[in-house]
Amino acid sequence: MDSATTQEKLVDFQHLIAVETARKQIRNAQLLTVFTGVAVIAAWLVGTFVANISGGSVNQSGSGYYWTLEVLFIFGMGYGISRYNVLCSRLMFGYSVVGALHALLTIGVTSLGISARIGALSYKIYALYYLWIGIDAMQRYHLLMKKERSLAADGAVNTRSQFTEQDALQPRSAPAEPLNPTPELVGLCGGDSTQAQWLLSKAKSKHPDRSVAWCNQQVIEQLST
């Protein structure tokens, strides 16, 4: 196999890892959005319970309709983020900005204790950080997909590679026993021993009954085809 083909396979591998990283960051933003929705439901239930035992109005915080719409909005944005919708991620970020400003401006003003308000503000800032990362990851993901479609149209993507995107998405856990890639395998990976180790680990996990030498040879043959 010539150096150009080897480099092409390495570029494909790096592309898959970049896609995996972006997807994980988007998933984190989605999970945070879902958690926010659950927290809003919990806050509404607690507020209703406190209002009932204190004899106050259940809808004293702007009526149950507001809470319902807010929860529907949050879960809707979470679904949109799971579908890689950039607009939904930006709307959720804007919602979190408004929430953070509200939490900041109402510290010590509402009936809640200042510790509760500081906790809410801290969570809003935490949410903003991960949502911002999610927005950036969403944009990178779409650029990567656009590049992948363009390369596929030009016939430049190795679609027959046995190390597919599904492989890249699997967790790269440490092997049960030390796996030592051969110098030839490391050379095919451009001298990157970490990458060679991971490829060998993948082959071993697929063929646990085979020897390390056999797995080394399999990976070498796959990269050489």
Q: How many CB atoms lie within 10 A of CB 179?
A: 18
pLDDT of residue 160: 39
* pLDDT (mean) for 19-33: 91
Task: Output the DSSP codes for 139-158.
Answer: HHHHHHHHHHHHHHHTT-S-
- pTM for this predicted structure: 0.60
Mean pLDDT of the residues in the chain: 77
So where are the chain's domains? Answer: 3-153, 171-224
pLDDT for 157-198, tens place per residue? 444 344 454 555 555 554 455 678 888 888 887 777 777 787
pLDDT of residue 156: 45
